[in-house]
Chains A and B, each alone.
Chain A
Amino acid sequence: MKSKNILYLVLLCALSACNSNDDELQKDTEKPIISELNIVANPIDCQVYHPGDVIPFHYIMTDNLELGAYNIEVHNNFDHHTHSTTAIDCPLDPEKQPQHPWVFNKDYEIPAGLHSFDARHDIQIPTDIDCGDYHFMIRLTDRAGWQQIHAVAIKIAE
Chain B
Amino acid sequence: MALFTVFTLSFTSCNNDDNDNLPSKPSITLTEVGHDNSKHAHPGHDLHLEADLLADGLIQRIDIEIHQEGGANKIVEKSYTEGKYIGVRNAEFHEHLDIPSTAPLGEYHLHFTVTDKSGQQTTVGSHIEVVEDDGDDDGDDDDHEHHHHD
Contact = CB atoms under 8 A, between A and B. Distances in A.
Q: How large is the interface on A (under 10, 10 to 19, 20 to 34, 35 or more residues)?
A: 35 or more
Nearest to A18: B14
Interface in B121-150: 137, 146-150
A70 to B, nearest CB: 9
Contacts of A31: 90
A139 interface: yes
For chain A, what secondary structure do more than half of its interface residues adopt (helix, strand, loop), or is it mixed? mixed
B96 interface: yes
Given A79-B48, A84-B150, A139-B84, A9 B10 contact: yes
Interface in B17-63: 18, 32, 35, 45-46, 48, 50, 55, 58
A134 to B, nearest CB: 12
Interface residues of B, number: 35
Contact of B83 (A2, A97, A107): A107
Interface of B: 2-3, 6-7, 9-10, 13-14, 16, 18, 32, 35, 45-46, 48, 50, 55, 58, 82-84, 87-92, 94, 96, 137, 146-150
Interface of A: 2, 5-6, 9-10, 12-13, 16-18, 23, 26, 31, 68-69, 71, 73, 75-76, 79-85, 95, 97-98, 105, 107, 137, 139, 141, 144-147, 149
Given A84-B148, A141-B87, 15 more contacts: A2-B2, A10-B6, A13-B13, A17-B13, A18-B16, A26-B18, A75-B94, A79-B137, A82-B146, A105-B84, A137-B94, A141-B88, A146-B88, A146-B90, A147-B91
